[in-house]
Structure 1
Amino acid sequence: MTKSPKNSIGLDNFNSTANLADNGVFQSTISISPGEEVNEKEYDPYDHRQVEHPNSDFGSLVHLLKSSLGSGILAMPNAIKNSGIVFGAVGTFIIGVVCTHCVHILVKISHELCKESKVPSMTFAETCGAAFKYGPKRLRCASNGFRLFVDWALVATYIGAACVYVMLIAESFHDVIGYHYPETNWDKRLYCAIIMIPLILLGQIRNLKYLVPFSALANVLLLITLAIIMSYIFADIPPTDDKEIYFTSAAKLPLFISTVIFAMEGIGVVMPVENDMKNPRRFLGCPGVLNISMSVVVTLYAIIGIFGYLKYGNLVNGNITSILEEGDIQAQVAKICIGLAILFTYGLQFYVPSDIIFKKIESVQNPKYHNITHIVLRTVLVAFTVAIAVVVPQLDLLISFVGAVFFSTLGLLIPAIVEIVHCWDGNLGFFYWRLIKDVLIGLFSIVALVSGAYQSLNEMINGAPIEEPGI
Structure 2
Amino acid sequence: MATQQAEGVTLTLITETPKKNGSTEDDYDPHLHRETPNATSNFETLVHLLKCSLGTGILAMPQAFAKAGLVTGTIATVLIGILLTYCLHILVSSQYRLCKKERVPLLTYPESMKVALRHGPSCLRPFANISAPIVDVFIVVYQLGIGCVYIVFIAENVKSLVDPIYEMSLTLYMVIVMVPLLCFTMIRDLKRLAPFSLVANVLTLIGVCVVVYFLLALERKQGDLDLWGSFSTFPLFFGTVLFALTAVGVVITLENNMQNPKSFGSTFGVLNVGMAFIVLLYVAVGVLGYLFCLSDCRDSITLNLPKQPLPMVVLGLFAVAILISYVLQCYVPVEIVWKTYVRPKLVEREVKKLLLWEYVLRVGLCLLTFILAVCIPLLGLFISLFGALCLSVLGLCFPAILELCSKWGTPSLGKGTIVKDILIVIFGIVGMIAGTYTTMLSIVRALS
Give your verdict on TM over 0.5. Answer: yes
State whether residues 55 and 322 of structure 2, in contact with CA within 8 Å, keep that contact through their aligned partners in structure 1: yes
Which residue of structure 1 aligns with residue 179 of structure 2? 197
Q: How far did residue 428 of structure 1 move? A: 6.3
Which residue of structure 2 aligns with residue 73 of structure 1? 58
Letter in 1 for 2:239: S
Which residue of structure 1 aligns with residue 102 of structure 2? 117
Correspondence for 2:425 among 437, 442, 445: 442
Q: How is 1:82-93 mapped onto 2 (pairs within 5 angstroms)?
A: 82-93=67-78
1:351 is the counterpart of 2:335: no
Q: How far did residue 211 of structure 1 move? A: 0.9
Q: Which has the larger radius of gyration?
A: 1
Q: How far did residue 40 of structure 1 move? A: 3.4
Question: What is the rounded CA distance, in whole Å, between the counterparts of 2:300 and 2:223 in structure 1?
Answer: 25
State whether residues 175 and 322 of structure 1, in contact with CA within 8 Å, keep that contact through their aligned partners in structure 2: yes
Which residue of structure 2 aligns with residue 17 of structure 1? none
Q: Deviations over 1:22-52 (max 9, x none)?
A: xxxxxxxxxxxxxxx9973611111111111
1:45 is the counterpart of 2:26: no
Which residue of structure 2 aligns with residue 264 of structure 1? 245
Which residue of structure 2 aligns with residue 329 of structure 1? 309
Correspondence for 1:208 among 170, 190, 196: 190
Letter in 2 for 1:121: L
Which residue of structure 2 aligns with residue 296 of structure 1? 277
Correspondence for 2:318 among 334, 338, 347: 338
Structure 1 residues 338, 114: CA separation in 2 closer, same or farther (over 3 Å shift)? same
Task: Describe the SS at the equivalent of 2:381.
Answer: helix
Question: What is the rounded CA distance, in whole Å, between the counterparts of 2:440 and 2:34 in structure 1?
Answer: 45
Correspondence for 1:247 among 217, 224, 228: 228
Question: What is the rounded CA distance, in whole Å, between the counterparts of 1:109 and 1:38 in structure 2?
Answer: 23
Q: How far did residue 370 of structure 1 move? A: 1.1
State whether residues 237 and 310 of structure 1, in contact with CA within 8 Å, keep that contact through their aligned partners in structure 2: no
Letter in 1 for 2:431: A
Q: Give TM-score scaled by structure 1 length.
A: 0.87
1:433 is the counterpart of 2:413: no
State whether residues 68 and 228 of structure 2, in contact with CA within 8 Å, keep that contact through their aligned partners in structure 1: yes
State whether residues 51 and 200 of structure 2, in contact with CA within 8 Å, keep that contact through their aligned partners in structure 1: yes
Task: Describe the SS at the equivalent of 2:139.
Answer: helix
Q: How far did residue 285 of structure 1 move? A: 1.2
State whether residues 261 and 403 of structure 1, in contact with CA within 8 Å, keep that contact through their aligned partners in structure 2: yes
Q: Deviations over 1:213-249 (max 9, x none)?
A: 111111000011101101111125648672x521121
1:457 is the counterpart of 2:437: no
Q: How far did residue 131 of structure 1 move? A: 0.6
Q: Give TM-score scaled by structure 2 length.
A: 0.92
State whether residues 154 and 268 of structure 1, in contact with CA within 8 Å, keep that contact through their aligned partners in structure 2: yes
Letter in 1 for 2:343: E
Letter in 2 for 1:457: M
Q: How far did residue 347 of structure 1 move? A: 0.7
Q: How far did residue 454 of structure 1 move? A: 1.5
Q: How far did residue 136 of structure 1 move? A: 3.1
Question: What is the rounded CA distance, in whole Å, between the counterparts of 2:303 and 2:375 in structure 1?
Answer: 20
For these two proteins, the number of residue pairs brought into alignment is 428
Q: Deviations over 1:79-121 (max 9, x none)?
A: 1000111011100000001111111011001111111111111
Task: Describe the SS at the equivalent of 1:345.
Answer: helix
Further displaced range: 79-88 or 416-425: 416-425
State whether residues 397 and 428 of structure 2, in contact with CA within 8 Å, keep that contact through their aligned partners in structure 1: yes
* CA RMSD of superposed structures (Å): 1.9
Structure 1 residues 372, 146: CA separation in 2 closer, same or farther (over 3 Å shift)? same
Q: How far did residue 423 of structure 1 move? A: 2.4
Structure 1 residues 38, 72: CA separation in 2 closer, same or farther (over 3 Å shift)? closer
Mind listing any 5+ residue stretches in structure 1 that lack a counterpart?
1-5, 12-36, 465-471
Structure 1 residues 137, 453: CA separation in 2 closer, same or farther (over 3 Å shift)? closer
1:222 is the counterpart of 2:232: no
Letter in 2 for 1:425: G
Question: What is the rounded CA distance, in whole Å, between the counterparts of 1:444 and 1:138 in structure 2?
Answer: 21
Correspondence for 1:275 among 256, 260, 269: 256
Correspondence for 1:140 among 100, 125, 148: 125
Which residue of structure 2 aligns with residue 156 of structure 1? 141
Task: Describe the SS at the equivalent of 1:120.
Answer: coil
Structure 1 residues 38, 437: CA separation in 2 closer, same or farther (over 3 Å shift)? closer
Q: Deviations over 1:115-174 (max 9, x none)?
A: 111111111111111111222344333222101110111111111111001100111111
Which residue of structure 2 aligns with residue 30 of structure 1? none
Question: What is the rounded CA distance, in whole Å, between the counterparts of 2:408 and 2:261 in structure 1?
Answer: 27
Q: How far did residue 422 of structure 1 move? A: 2.1
Which residue of structure 2 aligns with residue 386 of structure 1? 370
Question: What is the rounded CA distance, in whole Å, between the counterparts of 2:272 and 2:439 in structure 1?
Answer: 31
Task: Describe the SS at the equivalent of 1:195.
Answer: helix
Q: How far did residue 368 of structure 1 move? A: 2.9
Further displaced range: 202-211 or 223-232: 202-211
Question: What is the rounded CA distance, in whole Å, between the counterparts of 1:158 and 1:149 in structure 2?
Answer: 14
Task: Describe the SS at the equivalent of 1:209.
Answer: helix
Question: What is the rounded CA distance, in whole Å, between the counterparts of 1:415 and 1:211 in structure 2?
Answer: 27
Question: What is the rounded CA distance, in whole Å, between the counterparts of 1:189 and 1:291 in structure 2?
Answer: 39
Structure 1 residues 138, 239: CA separation in 2 closer, same or farther (over 3 Å shift)? closer
Further displaced range: 232-241 or 443-452: 232-241
Question: What is the rounded CA distance, in whole Å, between the counterparts of 2:220 and 2:245 in structure 1?
Answer: 28
Question: What is the rounded CA distance, in whole Å, between the counterparts of 1:344 and 1:231 in structure 2?
Answer: 24
State whether residues 420 and 428 of structure 1, in contact with CA within 8 Å, keep that contact through their aligned partners in structure 2: no
Which residue of structure 1 aligns with residue 157 of structure 2? 172
Question: What is the rounded CA distance, in whole Å, between the counterparts of 1:291 and 1:42 in structure 2?
Answer: 27
Which residue of structure 2 aligns with residue 377 of structure 1? 361
State whether residues 401 and 457 of structure 1, in contact with CA within 8 Å, keep that contact through their aligned partners in structure 2: yes
Structure 1 residues 232, 364: CA separation in 2 closer, same or farther (over 3 Å shift)? same
State whether residues 428 and 435 of structure 1, in contact with CA within 8 Å, keep that contact through their aligned partners in structure 2: no
Mind listing any 5+ residue stretches in structure 2 that lack a counterpart?
1-15
Question: What is the rounded CA distance, in whole Å, between the counterparts of 1:311 and 1:396 in structure 2?
Answer: 18
Which residue of structure 2 aligns with residue 126 of structure 1? 111
Further displaced range: 406-415 or 344-353: 406-415
Q: Deviations over 1:270-289 (max 9, x none)?
A: 01100000011100111000
1:404 is the counterpart of 2:388: yes
Question: What is the rounded CA distance, in whole Å, between the counterparts of 1:442 and 1:39 in structure 2?
Answer: 34
Correspondence for 1:9 among 14, 19, 42: 19
Structure 1 residues 281, 367: CA separation in 2 closer, same or farther (over 3 Å shift)? farther
